Every structure is written in structure tokens, then in C-alpha cells.
Structure 1
Amino acid sequence: MNKFRRLIFVVIIFEILMIVSFNYYLFSKNNNNTDKEYKVQAERVFNEIKTNPDYADNPESINLSRYDQIVKVSIYSEEACNNDYVVKKFNDKYYRIEYKQPNGLNGVWYINIFIIIMGLSVIGILIYIYMKIIKPFYNMSNMTYELAKGNLTTPLKAEKSKFFGKFMWGMDMLRENLESNKQKELKLQKEKKTLLLSLSHDIKTPLSAIDLYTKALKENLYDTEEKKEEALEGILANVTSIKNYVNEINKISREDFLNLEVVKQEFYLQDVINDIEKYYKEKLSLLHTVFNIEEFNNVLLRGDSNRLIEVMQNLIENAIKYGDGKTITIAFADEEDCKLISVRNSGNTLDRDQLPNIFDSFYRGSNTDNIKGNGLGLYICKNLMKNMGGDIFVEIEENDYIATVVVRKA
């Protein structure tokens, strides 16, 4: 920011120096040229006087139309004269040759005005850039740092600049989402802690009963087969109770992953594909991967367009990571009241017998060696599409891997 201020100051100084230097040069040149010109013309007039006796006796008769700086020629007298003049002597007579300095400075002033306007324009542009871009950006310089530190509660100051207004609005939405997710996570952690405390207390009872039954059986405290059967049934009943608690834990854990909110609304397929193409066209070009999008009819769909874009991005990223990098194609089909969007990549590396498990949480196929991931991508995609009333499935055709998204038409 200070460097840009110094730049404006340097530009101002440069403009001033340029104007001063330019004017000094032009004025010096103009004065030198003027001095030479009127002297030359005065000398020519004097030569006419010397060569023409009529002019010597009557110098006023000389035609001065050829001399733009000579005003009047006369025999010298003591009369006052308002013009500059030179005195020449010929045959004991003195001649006064009056001249005027040409007003050659008008052009100089025009050039000066032009230079000043251009300089002010440059300075104005620099000040505009400073006020509308540099200064707002400087004010935002600590924004990402504060977000990284976890300072999510303070709203970001709105920026009216057309350059950063939308950016600030988006960053504030990001802050709100991060804050919301943080609160949800804290709430979830509290619920988990409460659940664990409750389950630990509830599991103690069946565990204590099992412990008593096993000790009694070990020490042969039951003298009849009926009592032993009752003890075994008691153990089985308590084991069942513990299993139910464990199943409840698993159910709640799975519900945490299923808590993927969607906003159902109507949107056009073209808008989603435009966003996907805009993001991946250049990226895949840099990877030297052929990216094809087949022709399709722009239909009105129902669901969450942002979530659908998220699903499509996940499928394309998988195609990049697990394909051979040659081609990725997005194809379209219709089925009853649904639109099918397929992402096909060449170079399939997944075994067919693993297809039934790829949508399970934390499942990673045999083709994921040395490739980073957590096994949740397709699981999340599956549940997002289910929440939107659609679906997703995967198939293998020859050496191509095809992931197909099913979206409801509006």
C-alpha cells in the first residue's frame, strides 16, 4: 500500500519534471530561432535599401509582405516607437527597421495543456486504482488470516466496490457456513459425549450381570441343570442388550454421515454443465486429457444444483485419479421422468466384484493404492442424490468406468 503511494508521488514528480524540461527546451529553442529570423529579415531589407536608390530615399515604399517579422522601415528619427527595432547606416543616413517577435508560444501552451491533462488523467487513474482496488484489498489482507485462526463470529465489513463486493459477500457466506459447521460440530460432540456417558452407564448393568453369571457357573454354584440353563439364558439376554447398544452407536454414527442437507428447487441442466465445463476444461487440458461433453437437451430439473455440481466434481475427480488420463466424457440419457448424467473415463482399474461395496462408507477399492482418500466420496454422493430424490450407480463396460447420476425432472 505504501509502495503504491510512493508510485503516485513518483509519477507526480515525473510529470512536473517533464513539463519543466519540455518548456525549457521549447522556450530556449523558440528564443534562439526568433533572434535569428528577425535579424535575417532585417538584413534582407537593408540590402534592398543599399541596392535600390528609390528605397534609400523612400524606405517606406519597400514591400514588407514578404517579411512576417518586419513591421516598418523608415529614416531614423527621434520619434517614439512602440516596436523593437534595429538601426542601420548607409550613405550617411540612418534607417530604423522595426520588427515584432512572433507569437510562437501558443502551440507551446496547447502542448502544455495536453501534457497536464494527460498527467492528471494518469494520476487520477492511479488514485482510482488506489481507492477502489489497492485500499479495499489491503483492508481485506487480514481476513483470511482471521478465518484461519478460527475467528468466525465477527461479520466481514461489506465492500461496495464492484471489484470486491461479490468476493466479500462470498467470503462472508463462507464465514457463516464455517461458523454454522463449527456450531454443529460442537453440538455433535456434546451429543456424542452425552451418548457415551449414557451408554457406558447402561452397559455396566448387563456386563455386571454377565460377570456374576460366569463366576457362578465357574464356581459351580448352580447345582441343577435348570439353574444353569437360566444362567445361560440370562447371559444371552444381556449379550443381546449389549449388542443393541452397539447397534445404536453404529446407527447414530451412520446418521452423522447422512446429515447432508439439500435445498430442493428447480434449475436448468445447462447451468450445471456450464459450471462443470468452466472449471474442468482448462484443468483437463493441462493434464492432456480429452474432455468431451455430448449434446443434450436443456431440461428443467428438481433438486439442489450446488449439491449436484458437488457430486459431478467428485465423479470427475475420481475419473482423473483412477483413469488412464486419456479421455473423460459426460453423456446424457432420459429415463421416464429422470435425467441420467454419466461420467465415463477410459482406463478402468476397479474389479467388477468390488462394485457392490463402492458406496459403503470408508470403503476403498483395490485400485486406490498410493492414492490419497478417505473412502467417503461416493458414499456422500449416494446420500446426496438420495436426499434429492435421485440416485447414482456405477458400471463397467469393457475398459471404461461409468458413474451415472439420476436426477428428477421438474
Structure 2
Amino acid sequence: MKRFNTLILWTVIFGLAFIAICTAYTIQVGNSQTGRKYLVEINRILHQVTEGVPPKDIVLNSSGSGAVRTLDWIRSDAVPQELERFFEGAGLNNREEFTIRPIYEDQELSGYLRFSYPPVKDTTRTILVMDIVLLIALGGLVGLLLYVKLQIIKPFHTIEELPYALSKGQLKAGLKESRSRFFGKFIWGLDLLRETLESQQQTNLSLEKDRQTIVASLSHELKTPVAAIRLYSGALVQDIYDSEDKRKDCARLIGQKAENIETLIGEIITASVSSLQNIEIKNREFYLGEWLKRLLYSHKERLELLKIEWTIGSYADKLLLGDPDRLLEVMDNLIENAIKYGDGEHIRLSFQEEDMRQLIMVENTGTPLTPGELPYIFTSFWRGSNAEGKKGNGLGLYICKQLLQKMDGDIYAEATGHGMRFVLVLRY
């Protein structure tokens, strides 16, 4: 940018110098073409007169190189009226100019010579017009350079800093809006890219925080079974138990603790490699009836083996908008929770329309959560008071909510007098 500013400054300096040179040259040429020709001719004639050539015998230059057109002589002792008329230019063309020079003989005034010549051209107007034209041209050139600076160079300098900043992870400083016809849309696109990267960075930080939380939590849970295994194995090595039955019980306990560790390690691996934000959602239209057939096929036989009563309320078959596969995953999670945390007696699906939305309600009998726990039920890694002694990491309902929100829907929970109800909100 500084180099371009220097270029503009030197353009102005050289432009003004060029105008000054052209003006001086024009003045010089004008003087040489108007004044010097007739002055040279007058001096030649005066020299001839001083040499004794009578004025009437002087021949004017007829080649056209001289500028004197006529030569008039009057004696100094002429009638005053004639002298006056002579000095006023009587007998000359109005378009001609003249000059009068005295002639002396023996240091006495003998008469006057009058020289007429074409009027001297006034070059002032020509010079003024020329200077104005050149100044306009210079102003146009400087204006063009300023336009290039403001519309091309300056936006480009703004752009060239952003990729370097992005490579350093500096995502906070945005680009100002630009109306540049050359880079406006490009700058907008770069700023949109910056915002996307910033959003992705925040998402990655949040995911990393969640992963660290669950890994730390599960790692902490590993300490208890590891400590028990060390204790039991040490007892076996030291032959503390005196009966075979006690040694078998100890070995069985070691196996159970090993299974616990295996389960916890699996959960740690899952938490370390999975990313909820990367789950692909393919929203499309689907019929509620066809989706329910898939749901029944997945769970009917299992619920019958568990002897859990399963009822489905009446519904109007209609087109819904969402991802039917992901919606099945949500329902799988809800039914699994109903089996795990319910009393194993009854699960019911019912349907309702409200505010141009389709509601699907999943209810199970059992002990409901307390009102104070409901606000946290969809929080990641949170588990309710009814989760004691049951496997889980507190991510199931959190994932359900995230999936439904990606489908432009939602989910919320209610405690009923005899159990829990989860309400799914879908578009149609």
C-alpha cells in the first residue's frame, strides 16, 4: 500500500512538472513566432537607414520570413496635424499593429519611421486551455489510481491477512463489509468461512470437553474394580483362603470385576471416538404408518418375551418431515429406558396434533423422577436418582434431543402419577 501511495505522489509531481514544461515551451514558441520576426525586420531596416539608405528605397522582405508589412516615413518638421495623424496610425489597417521609431541625422531628429505588422497573437488563452486540459488529464489519472487503490489494492490487502490469521487459529477478528465490485462477494465468502471455522472450533472444544468429562468419569470408576481385583488376586497368591469354595468365590469375583472393567473400557472407547455433531441427518417426508410398522417389528417380540404390555393409540396416517432412521434410534433409546427404569408392566404410544405439529408420546409405568430432576434429564452425563445400580452413562436422552433438534423438532419429559412420559415433537 505504501508503494502505491508513493506511486500516486510521484504521478502528481511528474504531472505538474510536465504541465509546467509544456506551458513554458508554449510561451517560448509563441514569442518566437509573433514578436521576434517583426523585431528582427525592424532592426534590419533601422540599420539600413543609419547606413544612409533612404526609407523610400528600402525594400521589405517579400519572402514572408519577415513580419513587417508596411514602412511609412514622415519628416519631423511636418505639419503638426499630419504628425498627429501619423502617430495615430492613419492609413493603416485596423487589424494591424504598428510601432514608430525616431531617425536621427548628425544627432538631430530628422523624422519618424512607422512599421506595421500583424497583431501579436495572445497565447494566454491557449496556454490556459492547455493547462486546464492537462490538469483534467492529470486529475483523471490520479482518480484512476485512487480508484484502483480503494477498490482493488485496499480490499486485497484486507483479504491477504485473513488466510494467515486463519492458519494461526485467529478466528475472532472478522472482515468489515465491503461494497467493492471486485472483492465484495469474495470478502463476504471469506468472512462466512471464518465464521464457520469459528463455529466448528467452538463445537470441537465443546465435544472435547464432553469427551474429557466422560473419559475422566469412567476412568475414575475403573479404580474400584481394579482395586478389588488386586485385593482378591493378592489373597489368592498369599493363599489366605483355606477352603476351595472360598477360592472359587474369589475367582468368580475377579471375573465379575474384569467384566465391569471391560464394559467401562468399551464406554471409554465409544466416548473417545464418537462425535454427535458428525451424525448425518437426512430429512425427508415419510408416512407415519410405515414408520410405525418398522418400530413394531423391532420391539414387539422382545416386549412380549419380557411380558411387558405394549399398546399403541389411534393415529391419522400422514406425511411427516424428518429422518425416519434417526427417529427409530430415538424411539429405541426411549423404549430401552422404559424397560430399564420402568416397572416392566406397561409401555404405551399415543399420538396427538398441536400447533401444526405431530406429537408422539411414549409412556411407561414406574416410579417417576422428582420435579427437581426433570430440568436436567436431557443434560449430557446426567443420571437420575432411579439410575442407581443400572448401567449407563447419561448420554442417551441428550443424544435424543440433539437428533430431534437436527430434524427441526424437539422432545420434552413429564412426570405422571404412575410413571414417565416423553413427548416427541415433529414437523409435517
Task: State TM-score, norm by structure 1.
Answer: 0.50
Q: Which has the larger radius of gyration?
A: 2
Task: State TM-score, norm by structure 2.
Answer: 0.48
